[in-house]
Amino acid sequence: MNTFIYNTPTKVFLGPDTEKEVGKIIKEYGYKKVLLHYGGGSIKKTGLYDRVVKSLEEAGLDFVEMGGVSPNPKVSLVRETVALCQKEKVDLILAVGGGSVIDSAKAVGVSAISNIDPWEFSMGRVKPTQTIPVGVILTISASGSEMSDSCVLTDEETMIKKGFNTDVIRPLFAIMNPMLTYSVSPYQTACGTTDIMMHTFERYFTHDQGFEITDNISLALLKTVYQAGKVVMKNPNDYNARANLMWASSLSHNGLTGVGRNYKMVVHALGHAVSGTYDFVHHAAGLSILFPAWAKLAYHSAVDKFAEVAYQVLEVDRSIAPKEAALLGIERLENYFKELGMPTRFSDLGIGTDQFELMANKYSNNGQNAITTIITVDKAKALEIFNLAK
């Protein structure tokens, strides 16, 4: 196992109506001037916006607001929001939404306090050392950004998408009311479930030995998400299943499932090449297409780990031998993604083979780079994966 640092300072409040406490919570921290940051306005339709505003007002907090955060949050809106925070002397940023809104808020926080352009952080030219604290009211279970150290922005002029990671940007608090996710569409729910599972899978498949605790916790999370994912597709208003997914989204990406391991998110890297080529491909859709293909090439190198997923998560009987179980598990996972309504082949999205070479070049920086986890994925292997998933 590897030496690790574990740092999850985000305070979580999970339960019905917790969003109504937000004013009280912020007041107890001692903050006074809030930036309310949100997306396309669905929070106004659902009434969440009104509840949040009421809670802030009842706590006697002053606030300004900036909506309009888009999926793949844009650096231009971050810049605009930074200016507003500085002008209004905001001392807490409240992100009401999912991963995009939270990531936007994180970028605003580090830029507004330092007066450094947000893209400098994304490009890795400056490392943030402080932030205006970010609080979250989560509305979708997916990205894990509510407890994570990561932030991804897009520069719409160059269409470059870049992320940075640092403990500084872990949110101060995260308010999670599972009922807020009842209205998430079936497809977005399926994408979220896929995303959560992938955050764990990508940390699980390494050759690190001997730290069983992280393996066992990862399998526990995967099992939970697999089951809860089925339930919410049938009954979107199942409170417990929504709560399981919500808490799993945080634990899958806050560090818990990675400690002691030297992991690299190779399927995510392949997925970035896909969505960087086909803008309409949802992050999770890229993963549900690519992961089974990657797994079919990789399982030989970690039969026992794949077999445990099959037995413990995918309900494969233990009487089946590990190698066979591993393969059966991959098949079941693929079927599971299909049941959720996720694509599992490029053809499901109408994507042909004509850009495979380009995507493989993007992934590998024209054949110069490769990523090694339980197998090495270079340009040739990337092409093999794309072709398996065609």
Q: Under rule CB under 8 A, which residues in 235-274 are in contact with a second copy?
A: 239-240, 243-244, 247-248, 251, 259-260
Residue 384 Cβ, how far from a second copy at the closest point, in Å? 34
Q: Which of 197, 228, 359, 360 binds a second copy (CB under 8 A)?
A: 228
| 223 interacts with a second copy by CB under 8 A | yes
Does residue 127 interact with a second copy by CB under 8 A? no
- Work out whether 316 is an interface residue with a second copy (CB under 8 A): no
**16 near a second copy, judged by CB under 8 A:** yes
Under the binding rule (CB under 8 A), the answer on residue 2 touching a second copy is yes
Query: With binding defined as CB under 8 A, does residue 182 bind a second copy?
Result: no
Alpha carbon 198 to its chain centroid, in Å, reads 9
Token digits of residue 175: 């308010």
Nearer to a second copy, 246 or 290 (CB): 246
Query: What is the spatial distance between Cα 98 and Cα 345, in angstroms, rounded to a whole number?
Result: 27
* Integer CA distances (angstroms), 322 to 70, 311, 316, in order: 44, 9, 10
DSSP designation for 69: P
314 binds a second copy (CB under 8 A): no
Tell me how far apart the alpha carbons of residues 323 and 345 are, in angstroms, rounded to a whole number: 24
129 part of the interface to a second copy, by CB under 8 A? no
Minimum Å distance from CB 82 to a second copy? Answer: 27
Identify the residue among 84, 123, 126, 217 touching a second copy (CB under 8 A): 217
- Measured CA distances, 316 to 199, 200, 327, 330, 357 (Å): 22, 19, 10, 11, 36
Q: How far apart are CA 261 and CA 360, in angstroms?
A: 27
Query: Which amino acid is residue 176, in one-letter code?
Result: M
Using the rule CB under 8 A, which residue among 15, 41, 341, 367 binds a second copy? 15
Select the residue interacting with a second copy from 153, 219, 290, 359 (CB under 8 A): 219
Answer for which of 64, 83, 84, 220 binds a second copy (CB under 8 A) is 220
Closer Cβ to a second copy, 8 or 301, answer by number:
8
If binding means CB under 8 A, how many residues of this protein chain bind a second copy? 40
Residue 326 CB neighbours (<10 A) = 26
Report the alpha-carbon distance of residue 194 to residue 94 in Å, rounded.
27
Q: Residue 376: what are its φ and ψ, rounded to 5°?
A: -95, 125
